[in-house]
Chain A
Amino acid sequence: MQRFESNDFSRRNFLKGSVIAAAGGLLAACAPAAAPAGEAPAADEGDAMASDRMGGTLVFGYPQKTSYQDLLAMEHNAGNRRYYLVGLTHNCLVNISTDYTTWLPELAENWEFDGNDATFNLRQGVKWHDGEPFTSADVEFTIGRLVGHPNVNQWNGVRHFKGIIEGMTEFSEGEADAVTGISAPDDHTIVFHMTNPYRAAFLEKLLNFPIMPKHLLSQYPEEQWGIDEQGQQGLKNTPYAKEQGIGTGPFKVSNYIPDQIVEYEPFDDYWGGKPQLDKLAFVPYTDQLAMAAAVEKGECHIAIRTPQSEYERFQGMDHVDIVLNHGPSAFAWYHNLRYVLNDKRVRQGLSLALDREQIAKDFFFGTVEGAKAPLWYGDYGISPDSAQWYEYNPERARQLLEEGGWDFDYTFRLGMSSLSPTYEPLYAILREMWDAVGVKTEFHVMAAEYTNILNNPPHDFDTLFSGYGWGLTPGGFIHNFTDPRWGDVDEEGVAMVDELILIEDPEELREGALRLQEYAADLQRHCVIAQVPGIHVVSKQVQNGTVVPVYGPRTSWIDWVNVYVSA
């Protein structure tokens, strides 16, 4: 015993030390992190969540991690956070109305087309979040340098302008030092010289590109924009991408902890007026049920893409409104025309075998509509002739399959990335409907090899389940006819699109779009099922913010300037 007590490493000292260390560790770990340098002193806790006056903190929940993206605002992929929030920090030259019918001015006050030229008169008095003035040099830099630069990620950007803006293809392929088709006659005018007299199709392209600050991004040498020795895109590894996210939008980034929170504060000098909110917090949720719980408790004011399974639960809550998705995207089967689906009648038969209204009711809980045409949003309506291919008619389906020479002993191979439990019932319904007309089916799940398999034909599936985008103008429809992985380019479809995107007369354009729908519906390269569902929940504390969520390219779907959170 004596031996123990005389030892420095005594039991008592050890236990004491352990308890102190554990308590100290807990205290230290729970201690608040130091506020970032330059951060404004904060308000009292009681003021933070809500107050009687206009303002408050709006908490915006989204089921996706922020590490998927950064603050660079360059990548504008469907489905990511920026798809919904890009309008918070950045602006594009133009925007489009929530019903996709009217082009709206944003950083460009107005624009005019003259032959192959498009002239945009820029808004004056616009400032970046750091106080620097916004000028045409920023637009020239963003579209003329950043988007098409050979060192910048080519997956997303430049393809939109290749062949559209003069010299963009040559610049992006490293054959020219600059894009010849962009000029800035003065600080508030930018002119695009295009290869053809594009109109709405060009405006649609501009929706994909928030304008970036030249004075900040040009300080990073262009040779460092590309992949660095760590395998990272250099531009994403800059303080701009990781901390600043400076734009011209109504809110500026005040705190960003990846995968935890992005906090924004109102930009006093926003050209559209200072926002009412005191603060806006974007919170990513890995688990949609965790987001649903936060909504139920009132911790989250706007939750987007909540799970379908919780739809009825939200309907029973008094303190929230439910807003359903609208937008130009859907679930569809991408038919592989290289194998058993090369006869159009077979594809038509498969389409008519599906009861889309039943699917919308049973699987999507009535939150979406069944597909009625391959292109059906915005200014173009739905062609009655194309809609007939989306009606449920199993007898006609069987007849078409027989006429098309379908081998009823063959097992139709359904390709998909994964068999997620969420969508398993949908797959089961689809299989049942095809089974009813005599088409046997089996799954081919690609899992992590999804992209590799898709890009390396021949494929071991006949049709692929995927998201499907229409585009806002007929120009956005062209990829439906040109993807070489699923079959030869459909020259007739391409010719129709090429003709349509140059039409100026709105009535003529609409009629052309309906003809295109009809053609695409008859062709059935894609078997469209229903809109991508989106059940968004908005707290009744959210005031003045007309929330129109969309799953498509718009720079904002909420009135960020006037929205506030009431007590």
Chain B
Amino acid sequence: MSTYVLRRILLVFPLLLGATIINYTIFALSPGDPVSAMIDPFELSAMTEEDLQEAREALGLNRPIPVRYLLWLGEAIRGNLGYSIWFNTPVFEVMLRALGNSMPVMIFAILVSTIAGITLGIISALKPYSFLDSILTTFAFAGVAVPGFFFALLLIYAVAIRLDLLPTGGVTTPGLDPSFKDRFAHIILPGFALAYESTGSLLRYTRSSLLEVLSLDYMTTARAKGLVERVVILRHGLRNALLPIITILGLRLPSMFGGAVLIETVFNYPGVGLTLVQAVNMRDYPLMMGGVLITAILVLLSNLLADLLYTVADPRIRYEES
């Protein structure tokens, strides 16, 4: 097991290297540069081509792309992700602040979607083709079909504005002292908006996986042994149905980062998604690369975690070397 984990961790490095090469090349080849993004059009009349060239040179943008990449990589290996051109702050600091905002929402969304998705999926599978199953199926399809940002707008209108239960957005309430209660109140709506789509797909996967398992012979055997229905379903049925669900869960984090771009915009929530969008808009290469690197690490780790979870769900799966 430990060998497997070590091997997987070692595999992360070439994967990361590939991801950074691809991303760096795409970013560097895209039109525009930070200098042109920085200048206010109102100030254009004061700029000369020499001014622009000087600014590019100062930012090291005149060097060939492979040289710039190798310089970046050399520094990144030493733990220096560089300075964000736009934020005028170390990339690590910018990303840490963004992650500090995004992680509570993502953890909340993963908890909500996992608990709700699996629970509702079990209920749906136990009452197949019933009225309740139809309602849950409708809910699941709506979750997949309705764009997250639209659901987010509905939540803002209904829960924040009409019912006045939660804030419309932001990380904290301006003017209030920092408190858990206030911070938590600000993650509920974006958390639910992020969780909605995941909940629907998890519900459907749990339902179909469990339905398949419920008809197998060992379920009949378990019941024949006299086990109570709860134990039959949870220990024999659900556990065997978990493998595809774990795969879906492992893919949750990457999709959360993707979804966060829109959700964070709608809720004015300055997290990873919003920061990376801004980095792309402003051609802030160091921030883009740092952001990609950090999110890639998190995604690879979540995949590793999913692999480990397989062994928990199914003891037949061993990662020992033959």
In the complex where A155-B39, A237-B88, A469-B42 touch, is A296 in contact with B312 (Cβ < 8 A)?
no
A70 touches B168 (CB 8 A): no
| B161: contacting residue among A1, A293, A479, CB under 8 A | A293
| A296 to B: closest C-beta gap in Å | 6
In the complex where A155-B43, A448-B32, A448-B37 touch, is A48 in contact with B168 (Cβ < 8 A)?
no
A49 touches B173 (CB 8 A): yes
Q: Which of A1-47 contact B (CB under 8 A)?
A: 1, 3-4, 9, 11, 14-15, 22, 25-27, 29-33, 35, 42-43, 45
User: CA of A14 to CA of B36 in the docked complex: distance in angstroms?
Assistant: 51
Per-residue interface assignment for chain B, residues 142 to 167, with 1 indicating a CB less than 8 Å from any chain A CB and 0 otherwise = 00000000000100110011001001
User: CA of A65 to CA of B284 in the docked complex: distance in angstroms?
Assistant: 15
- In the complex, whether A411 has a CB less than 8 A from a CB of chain B is no
Q: How many residues of A contact B (CB 8 A)?
A: 82
- In the complex, whether B52 has a CB less than 8 A from a CB of chain A is yes
A22 touches B110 (CB 8 A): yes
In the complex where A294-B168, A448-B31 touch, is A159 in contact with B87 (Cβ < 8 A)?
no
B275 partner residues in chain A, CB cutoff 8 A: 259
User: CA of A49 to CA of B309 in the docked complex: distance in angstroms?
Assistant: 47
- In the complex, whether B14 has a CB less than 8 A from a CB of chain A is no
A48 touches B175 (CB 8 A): yes
User: CA of A48 to CA of B179 in the docked complex: distance in angstroms?
Assistant: 13
B107 partner residues in chain A, CB cutoff 8 A: 22, 25-26, 29
A interface, over-half SS = mixed
In the complex where A291-B268, A479-B45 touch, is A296 in contact with B83 (Cβ < 8 A)?
no
A59 touches B175 (CB 8 A): yes
User: CA of A449 to CA of B278 in the docked complex: distance in angstroms?
Assistant: 17
- In the complex, whether A156 has a CB less than 8 A from a CB of chain B is yes
User: CA of A449 to CA of B183 in the docked complex: distance in angstroms?
Assistant: 40
B residues in contact (CB < 8 Å) with A:
1, 30-33, 35-37, 39-49, 51-52, 58-60, 82-83, 85-89, 94, 97, 100-101, 103-104, 107-108, 110-111, 153, 156-157, 160-161, 164, 167-180, 182-184, 187, 265-268, 270, 274-275, 278, 283, 308-309, 311-313, 315
A residues in contact (CB < 8 Å) with B:
1, 3-4, 9, 11, 14-15, 22, 25-27, 29-33, 35, 42-43, 45, 48-49, 57, 59, 65, 67-68, 70, 77-80, 154-156, 159, 227, 230-233, 236-237, 241-242, 257-261, 263, 278-279, 281, 283, 285-287, 289-291, 293-294, 296-297, 299, 417, 447-452, 454-456, 466-467, 469, 479, 483, 485
Q: What are 20 residue pairs bridging A and B, where the CB atoms are less than 8 Å apart in the complex?
A: A22-B111, A26-B107, A29-B103, A32-B182, A42-B176, A67-B87, A231-B85, A232-B88, A259-B278, A260-B170, A261-B170, A263-B175, A283-B174, A296-B161, A297-B161, A451-B44, A454-B44, A455-B48, A455-B52, A467-B41
